[in-house]
Amino acid sequence: MRDTTAPEVVVRRLALYLRVLNAASLDDQEYISSQELGERAGISAAQIRKDLAFFGEFGKQGVGYEVQFLQGEIARILNVDRPVHFAIIGAGELGIALARYTQRRRQLEHGYPFWLSGLFDVDLEKIGQLVDGATIEHVDALPERVKQKGIRMALITVPAAAAQNAANSAVSAGVRAILNFAPARVSLPANVRLHDADVTLDLHHLAYFL
């Protein structure tokens, strides 16, 4: 895993800048100023210049940033300039929705970096079923698939009680980053990156403002 010196918030904003640049590139826009990038990303121009300065000198005085160049540089910094092979562990309601979403994005969007390279479950009734071109396999096949496909990320979409086990299997198979959707605290070795995604927590947070 990369030892990054840039603050987390900056890395997160890079993904936002890349989204704006991807859209600008689709519109054949050649240059973008930090002002325009800022307006479209909802971040101040000064913040953008500061964020990008962590990684190098990308702009040209007076003309701003060359869209394709900056797009390529940010993609490279985020490791999404090449396919990122990932697995989904737990092919239930959420796992299947995420599988469909990512498979369709990849079909529709040239250069979409996240490639679903394994979809796993333990329910024997589900094994062998196809979800938008991905076959549900038994979780026992995970180590082999990780090696074969170069899977480096896993999304955990199993019930809370199974989350730690699923994460352990992923880590021992060689996965380096986990996005956990299960409402459970998962412990991982320090060299594996863990992010939690939780719509319900966000809903509670939002409900406070009603």
Return residues touching ligand NAD (CB under 6 A).
Answer: 89-95, 120-123, 126, 139, 157-160, 162, 165-166, 181-183, 197-200
CB 14 within 8 Å of CB 78: yes
| Residues whose CB falls within 8 Å of the CB of residue 160, separated by 6 or more in sequence, listed in order | 182, 183, 184
Q: What amino acid occupies position 45?
A: A
52 or 88: CB nearest ligand NAD: 88
Distance of closest approach, residue 37 Cβ to ligand NAD, in angstroms: 30
32 or 163: CB nearest ligand NAD: 163
Distance of closest approach, residue 122 Cβ to ligand NAD, in angstroms: 4
Name the residue number minimizing CB distance to ligand NAD: 92
53 or 201: CB nearest ligand NAD: 201
26 or 160: CB nearest ligand NAD: 160
Distance of closest approach, residue 23 Cβ to ligand NAD, in angstroms: 26
What is the distance between the alpha carbons of residues 88 and 146, in angstroms, rounded to a whole number? 12
E strand map for the chain = 31-32, 59-60, 64-66, 84-89, 114-121, 130-131, 134-138, 153-156, 177-180, 193-196
Distance of closest approach, residue 161 Cβ to ligand NAD, in angstroms: 8
CA 189 → CA 69, 139, 160, 201, distances in Å?
36, 21, 19, 25
Distance of closest approach, residue 84 Cβ to ligand NAD, in angstroms: 20
37 or 166: CB nearest ligand NAD: 166
Largest CA distance in the chain: 61
- List, in sequence order, every residue forming a beta bridge with 134; answer none if it has no partner: 131
